[in-house]
Structure 1
């Protein structure tokens, strides 16, 4: 019988534990979010992050910048937050408008405040096996696997997608946990065959119901990172109804990976505050 990997339940547990830890620490962590433009999805995600902050005892500051802003304008905001001793974590909501140099913005965030884990130094530390802050979605997935006691060491893991925010850091975390990892992408030859070799399959390609039963090894653990709209409904990359009977464990969309991402952001922000303790 398939196990539904309930990210919402696990995140609730993690947030309650974090609230206790923050209360006992005597610290008051603070997170600053920066959003450029009025994209409704980005605004919704930022609101969810602020609600989580309020729940666990993390102060939050929301900065909204007009959508026609220049890269320099955003950099000035990042510099101000870098220099603000009361701010422990900085999150720049992606994607940024096309005229903004995203790489420059990400690289401008001080590494000790890079709770999203996207700075080149943060990613380099992750690749070296000594992460400071790992990106929240991949790290949240590792937490979910751990909570359900799914063995990673020795497993054949396949990651579909090579983005810098999910695919590549996901592969690094799985490698650091002693899995044998393959990254697949748009140029992969015979993609279905590669996917079907996976004991642990992580899909982060952004195509609704792309993963079908014939791409999934019987008994595989299937992690669906996709957030897509299909016929007015929120669905993942995996055809959940069709695949779940083949898998040993699977994440739903919504309620799987998404809540773990936010819980991990809260944990990273607390960790950033804790590292500044005298």
Structure 2
């Protein structure tokens, strides 16, 4: 392997340390701790693990967590009411709806029930518009974490060709908007893109976020390129063929330990930012 590993764990610790200081300052001056409400529908084991991790990180960072667990049979209408009630609660600063939700839930309708000023996960249409137009609002956490990791390793973006493989509403599409705002030339690809290999081979920065194990082959990578693997598949396998890609890339994120830790760190950082806005 010739590529340098981009250590998301180390960078996330730096961000969490900064966030803990800001949370302590807020608590000292405002008489309360910032509060993140997490909403989980059903009992999916992976989702429960993710929520538990976020609650643990909240406690370590000085953020109050309010956990709302709902039964699997919860309807979209019931979930929307819960999210609207949390949005109206002045003691709640940020709201996280753990996704994916059960198949019968209209996830987009649920996301849009979250008030924009409490959408610290960056999942609403208002947040996407803020990312696309450069307005005030919260960025989607994984894309924002990717940008912070690129900054930590001083990756130049202006004028560089970036290829995003994936088009989800909370990862692929918004990370392209954030890269575009940094003056990168962005191409969106996906699993049905014709001659995907040719597009990837031209990229100075590759962001793989398609949710298919090792879809991006190592021999597609341009020598010296930066490879961000935002995929996570069973067996700790990302969306990039890691060993072969690392032999050609200049920088690469491991799976796990790359993008994942940054997501939670950004979520908590944006919760504290929301608290400061709310007062």
Smaller-chain TM-score bracket: over 0.9
Deviations 1:170-204 (A, max 9, x none): 00000001100000013322111011111000000
Indicate yes or no: 2:154 matched with 1:149: yes
Q: Is the Cα contact below 8 Å between 1:123 and 1:131 reproduced in 2?
A: no
Partner of 1:263: 265
- Which 4+ runs in 1 deviate beyond 4 A? none
Partner of 2:180: 175
Indicate yes or no: 2:255 matched with 1:250: no
Rounded Cα–Cα distance in structure 1 between residues aligned with 2:79 and 2:23 = 31
Rounded Cα–Cα distance in structure 1 between residues aligned with 2:25 and 2:179 = 32
Corresponding residue SS for 1:109? coil
Indicate yes or no: 2:124 matched with 1:119: yes
Partner of 2:110: 105
- Residue correspondence of structure 1 range 24-103 to structure 2 within 5 A: 24-25=25-26, 26=28, 27=30, 28-103=33-108
Rounded Cα–Cα distance in structure 2 between residues aligned with 1:206 and 1:103 = 19
Partner of 2:22: 21
Rounded Cα–Cα distance in structure 2 between residues aligned with 1:197 and 1:44 = 38
Q: Normalising to structure 2: TM-score of the pair?
A: 0.96
Partner of 1:239: 241
Q: Normalising to structure 1: TM-score of the pair?
A: 0.96
Rounded Cα–Cα distance in structure 1 between residues aligned with 2:214 and 2:130 = 34
Name the count of aligned residue pairs: 274
Q: Is the Cα contact below 8 Å between 2:219 and 2:244 reproduced in 1?
A: no
Q: CA deviation at 1:51?
A: 1.0
Indicate yes or no: 2:7 matched with 1:6: yes
Q: Is the Cα contact below 8 Å between 2:39 and 2:68 reproduced in 1?
A: yes
Q: Is the Cα contact below 8 Å between 2:130 and 2:136 reproduced in 1?
A: yes
Cα gap change, 1:206/1:253 in structure 2, threshold over 3 Å: closer, same or farther? Answer: same
Deviations 1:194-245 (A, max 9, x none): 111110000001111222122111110000001101xxx2111111112101
Q: CA deviation at 1:24?
A: 2.3
Corresponding residue SS for 2:261? helix
Rounded Cα–Cα distance in structure 1 between residues aligned with 2:90 and 2:98 = 21
In structure 1, runs of 5+ residues without a counterpart are none
Rounded Cα–Cα distance in structure 2 between residues aligned with 1:126 and 1:20 = 26
Corresponding residue SS for 1:61? strand
Q: Is the Cα contact below 8 Å between 1:5 and 1:144 reproduced in 2?
A: yes
In structure 2, runs of 5+ residues without a counterpart are none
Partner of 2:274: 272
Q: Is the Cα contact below 8 Å between 2:219 and 2:248 reproduced in 1?
A: no
Corresponding residue SS for 2:207? strand
Q: Is the Cα contact below 8 Å between 2:130 and 2:137 reproduced in 1?
A: yes
Corresponding residue SS for 1:140? helix
What CA RMSD, in Å, does the superposition of the two structures yield over aligned residues? Answer: 1.0
